[in-house]
Each structure stands twice: as C-alpha cells, then as structure tokens.
C-alpha cells in the first residue's frame, strides 16, 4: 500500500513539473515584447489614453456606417459602367478606400480637437500611418489583381491578402516586428532532428502562395501565346498548356520548399508515400491523369470532335487533365473520365474526315411503283441544303418485306456537329410530302386471319 502511494505521489509531482515547464515554454515572451506590454499597462492609467481610444472607436464606427451607406451605391454604379474601364476601376478603387479614408478623416478631426485642448495625441499619431498604409495596400493589391489576373481564388481572398500584408506593415511601423518574429520562431516543434516553428510554417505558406500566383500568371501568358499560334492544332495546344502549367506549379512548390530551408532530399520519404497511395486509393486519379496526356499527345480526340461513347452521342467541348467535357444533343454536358477513352470503344465521327453518311429506311406498298419511289427519294435528298452533292446520294431497294417493299436512302453530310436527327427529320418530311403528292402509300403491319374450322359454331 505504501509503495502504491509513493508511486502515485511521484507521478503527481512529475506531471506537475511537466505542466509547469510546458506553461513556462509557451507563455514566455521575448524581453522586447514584455517591455512593450509594460508600457501599455502604464498607459491604461492615463486619462488621455482613454480619450484617444474613444476617438478611435468613434472614427471606426463612423467609417463602418459610411461604408454601409455608400458601398451598395458604388457597386450599382460600377455595374452600370462596365464598358468604361477607367470609370469602373475608379469606382471599385473608391469602394475599397471607403473604410480607411473615412476612419482616417475621423482620426484627423479628433487629433485636431485633442491638440487644441493641449494633449499630445501619441496614439492618434500612430494610427494615421497605419490607416494610410491600409489604404495604400488595398489599392496596390487591387491593381495587381487586375493587372496579373491570376484567377478567381485571388479575387475571393483579396481582402485576406491585403489584411495580412497590412498586419506585417503595422508591426513594422510599431517596431514590434523583430520581437514578434523571434517569438514565433521560438514556438517550435521538434520532429526528429528537425525543428519546425510557426515562423517557418508561415514563411512556407507565404512563399508558396506568392510563387503559386506567379506560376499561374506565367501559365496564363503561355496559354494566351499558344492560343494565338495558328500553326498548332487545338489538341496540341491543350497538351502544351496543361504540361506547362503542371511544370510551373511543380517548380513553384519546390522553390517554396527550398526558400524556407527544407531539404529536398527529405521528400524521398514523401515520394514513397505518394507511390503507395497511387498503388491503392489514388490509382484511378493517376490513371485518369496519365490517360489525359495520352489523349492529348496522340490527338485521337480534339475539341470540336463528334464522338459516341457508351451509346451517347455528343460534341467534345473541352479537354482537361482528368476528364473531357462532352455536350449531347439535349445540351447536357457530361464529364467523361479520360480512362474511359483509353479502355472503352469510342466512335469519333470526325477523326480524319468530317463527312458522315446517314441511312434513311422507307417502305412502300406492293401496289406502288418502286422505281418512281426511288426517284422521289433522290429528289428529296437533293432538295436538302445539308446533303452533299459529292459523294452523291444513293437509293437502294433492300428487300421485299412482310408488309411492303423496303427502300433505303443514303446521303452524306459534312457537319455532324450541327446534328443528325434534324437532317433525318427534314428528309423524312420531304419524302412524305412527295409520296402523298404521287399517291404512293407507306404500309403499316397487316395480318390476314383465316378461320379453318368452327365457323358454324360461331354463327349459332
């Protein structure tokens, strides 16, 4: 019993020492930050400090009110002036400056009042460059986004990016940046022989975001240049665009790792893990990705081709690294994985030649003249504007069926992307009109019933 109590007491003491050491490690601040916090503690007992805080709060509330009142009006005006780029940019810039400029005006007015009362507006003097830098950063980020056009993701994260940059600038203006960086670097986690700090993770994310945006911008420039090259076929254009984008993003990722001091040889373990993942859960994704490059480089399917896959007819709209977009005759866009294009049978109606032959079967009664019917079929084909004169239309008597003589009209068209069913419908309608005018009948299934016995019983 005493041994158990002794062990339990030692465990409690050890756990208390561990918690105290952890608390001391996480809550300890650099001397510079402790000095700054001590100075702020002294300012809390000064009445002038609270006057300045009140002015800042009133200026912030007024800026929020002005932003809510005018932001929607500026948005409506900018949507009405989309044709004028200068006026549109001016209205969007003014919308982003409403809050910082309104608050800056409130701070300047409050500073004038405090100076007239004989106070030294130290806190307000510090707020003026902070608000000015906020306005400048928001303008610069907006114009950079409009200039580089990196994508919708940067547009959605514009405010977060501008705020993050402003926080760094604010810490620099306040003189807190070195102490903050030292504090973030001290908060580290030991992983084997490597030490990972919050500062290193932040640098990695910052470098990755900047290089990623730059890679997307360069990829867009390459895409525009390739699209303007008329001597490159559409399939090869898509292949070069996707390949260049993949290489640029990979280089951006590796450069970001190298900039923060991560040894690239350590990625060997990560590469092995990726290989295992590809062998199991990511096998289909890798297969679609590789199949996409095969389809792009062998040029078996190109944008604008008319294909049939899984008994579905449609037009190829776009080629992507993982799938293709096919629009059917109902206007529905289907996303077909690239692996299906390699493993399944695909009918490409426009692979080497856009000409497509259509067969239109027709039946006539045995009482009608088949030669006259064949001549009318030829006239109906030649009257359609989409039917080619060369190869010329052809008519055939295929068989003597149970219900009538079976004829067939064969025509060629060169624009299958414009639809096949509409051509059949127009030609069938022309055939029906010609047969009706010539008195030729189209038979329907008929059966003769012969009663060989039992007729007398039915009569009675």
Q: What is the CATH number of the domain that holds 377?
A: 3.30.70.100
Residue 8 lies in a domain: no
- H/E element, 194: strand 194-197
**Do the Cβ atoms of 234 and 302 come closer than 8 Å?**
yes
Cα 282 to Cα 277, 287, 294, distances in angstroms? 6, 8, 18
Identify whether residues 109 and 167 lie together within a single domain.
yes
> How many independent structural domains does the chain possess?
4
Phi, psi angles (nearest 5°) of residue 436: -65, -40
How remote is the C-alpha of 372 from its chain's centroid? Answer: 59
Identify whether residues 282 and 313 lie together within a single domain.
no
Identify whether residues 88 and 163 lie together within a single domain.
yes
Identify whether residues 327 and 420 lie together within a single domain.
no
Among 459, 455, 444, residue whose Cα is nearest residue 403: 444
DSSP string over 270-305 = HHHHHHHHHHTTTHHHHHHHHHHHHHHHHTSS-TT-
Identify whether residues 124 and 64 lie together within a single domain.
yes
Among 210, 103, 222, 217, residue whose Cα is nearest residue 165: 210
Identify whether residues 334 and 383 lie together within a single domain.
no
Identify whether residues 224 and 270 lie together within a single domain.
yes
pLDDT of amino acid 397: 93
**Do the Cβ atoms of 377 and 395 come closer than 8 Å?**
yes
Identify whether residues 129 and 162 lie together within a single domain.
yes
| 342-347, long-range: CB < 8 A, 24+ apart | 342/291, 342/294, 342/295, 344/309, 344/310, 345/309, 346/300, 346/301, 346/307, 346/308, 346/309, 347/307, 347/308, 347/309
Query: What are the structure tokens assigned to 339, written together?
Result: 């692996």
Among 395, 417, 407, residue whose Cα is nearest residue 443: 407
CATH number of the domain where residue 341 is located: 2.30.30.60
Q: In 229-282, where does DSSP find H-type helix?
A: 234-259, 267-279
How far apart are the C-alpha atoms of 448 and 65, rounded to whole Å?
90
| 304-308, long-range: CB < 8 A, 24+ apart | 304/234, 304/350, 304/417, 305/348, 305/349, 305/350, 305/351, 306/348, 306/349, 306/350, 306/356, 306/416, 306/417, 307/346, 307/347, 307/348, 307/349, 308/346, 308/347, 308/349
103: exposed, middle or buried (C-beta count within 10 Å: 0-12, 13-18, 19+)? buried
Identify whether residues 166 and 216 lie together within a single domain.
no
How remote is the C-alpha of 109 from its chain's centroid? Answer: 46
Phi, psi angles (nearest 5°) of residue 121: -85, 70
Could you count the other beta carbons within 10 Å of the beta carbon of residue 383? 12
Cα 96 to Cα 33, 106, 142, 275, distances in angstroms? 33, 17, 9, 47
Domain that holds residue 338: 301-348
pLDDT of amino acid 76: 73
How far apart are the C-alpha atoms of 243 and 246, rounded to whole Å?
5
pLDDT of amino acid 83: 63
Residue 451 lies in a domain: no
**Do the Cβ atoms of 96 and 139 come closer than 8 Å?**
yes
Among 206, 52, 176, residue whose Cα is nearest residue 123: 52
Per-residue pLDDT of the chain (460 residues; tens, 9 = 90+): 443 333 333 344 344 443 333 334 344 445 555 555 555 555 666 677 778 888 888 888 988 888 888 877 777 776 666 666 667 777 777 777 788 888 888 888 888 888 887 777 777 887 888 888 888 887 777 777 666 665 555 566 667 777 777 788 778 777 777 777 787 777 777 665 667 777 778 888 888 878 887 888 888 888 888 878 777 767 677 778 888 888 888 888 888 877 777 666 656 666 666 666 656 666 777 788 888 878 877 778 888 888 888 888 888 888 887 888 998 877 888 898 888 888 888 888 777 777 888 999 999 998 899 999 999 999 999 999 899 988 899 999 999 988 889 999 999 998 877 778 889 999 999 999 999 999 998 888 767 777 666 656 656 5
Residue 339 lies in a domain: yes
Residue 454 lies in a domain: no
Helix (H, G, I), strand (E, B) or coil at 354: coil
Identify whether residues 86 and 159 lie together within a single domain.
yes
Residue 212 lies in a domain: yes
Residue 28 lies in a domain: no
pLDDT of amino acid 11: 40
pLDDT of amino acid 427: 93
Identify whether residues 90 and 148 lie together within a single domain.
yes
Identify whether residues 279 and 391 lie together within a single domain.
no
CB proximity list for 370: less than 8 A, separation 6 or greater: 364, 397, 405, 407
How far apart are the C-alpha atoms of 3 and 293, rounded to whole Å?
70
| Angle in degrees, CA 150, 151, 153, rounded to 5 | 115
Residue 26 lies in a domain: no
Helix (H, G, I), strand (E, B) or coil at 82: coil
Query: What are the structure tokens assigned to 307, written together?
Result: 């294909």
Residue 164 lies in a domain: yes
């Amino acid at each position: 019993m005493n041994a158990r109590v002794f062990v339990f007491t030692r465990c409690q003491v050890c756990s208390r020492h561990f918690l105290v050491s952890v608390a001391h490690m996480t809550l300890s601040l650099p001397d510079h930050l402790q000095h700054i916090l001590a100075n702020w503690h002294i300012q809390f007992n000064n009445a002038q400090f609270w006057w300045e805080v009140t002015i800042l709060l009133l200026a912030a509330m007024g800026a929020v009110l002005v932003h809510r009142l005018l932001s929607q009006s500026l948005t409506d005006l900018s949507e009405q002036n989309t044709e004028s780029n200068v006026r549109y940019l001016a209205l969007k810039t003014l919308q982003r400056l409403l809050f910082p400029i309104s608050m800056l005006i409130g701070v300047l007015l409050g500073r004038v009042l405090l100076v007239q009362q004989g106070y030294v507006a130290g806190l307000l003097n510090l707020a003026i460059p902070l608000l000015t830098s906020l306005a400048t950063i928001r303008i610069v980020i907006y114009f950079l986004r409009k200039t580089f056009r990196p994508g919708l993701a940067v547009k959605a994260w514009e405010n977060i990016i501008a705020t993050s940059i402003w926080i760094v600038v604010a810490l620099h203006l306040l003189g807190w940046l070195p102490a903050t960086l030292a504090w973030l670097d001290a908060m580290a986690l030991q992983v084997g022989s490597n030490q990972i700090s919050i500062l290193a993770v932040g640098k990695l994310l910052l470098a990755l975001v900047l290089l990623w945006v730059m890679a997307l911008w360069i990829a867009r420039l390459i895409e525009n240049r390739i699209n303007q090259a008329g001597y490159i076929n559409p399939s090869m254009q898509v292949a070069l665009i996707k390949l260049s984008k993949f290489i640029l993003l990979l280089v951006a990722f590796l450069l970001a790792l190298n900039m923060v001091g991560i040894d690239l040889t350590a990625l060997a373990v990560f590469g092995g893990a990726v290989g295992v993942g590809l062998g199991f859960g990511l096998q289909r994704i890798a297969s679609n990705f590789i199949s996409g490059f095969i389809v792009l480089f062998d040029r078996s399917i190109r944008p604008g081709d008319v294909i049939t896959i899984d008994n579905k007819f449609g037009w190829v709209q776009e080629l992507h690294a993982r799938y293709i977009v096919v629009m059917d005759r109902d206007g529905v866009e289907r996303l077909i994985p690239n692996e299906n294009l390699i493993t399944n049978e695909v009918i490409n109606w426009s692979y080497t030649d856009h000409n497509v032959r259509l067969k239109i079967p027709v039946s006539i009664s045995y009482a009608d003249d088949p030669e006259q019917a064949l001549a009318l079929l030829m006239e109906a084909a030649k009257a359609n504007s989409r039917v080619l004169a060369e190869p010329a239309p052809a008519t055939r008597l295929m068989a003597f069926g149970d219900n009538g003589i079976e004829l067939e009209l064969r025509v060629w068209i060169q624009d299958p992307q414009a639809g096949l069913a509409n051509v059949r419908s127009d030609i069938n309608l022309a055939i029906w009109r010609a047969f009706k005018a010539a008195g030729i009948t189209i038979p329907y299934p008929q059966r003769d019933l012969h009663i060989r016995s039992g007729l007398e019983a039915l009569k009675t």
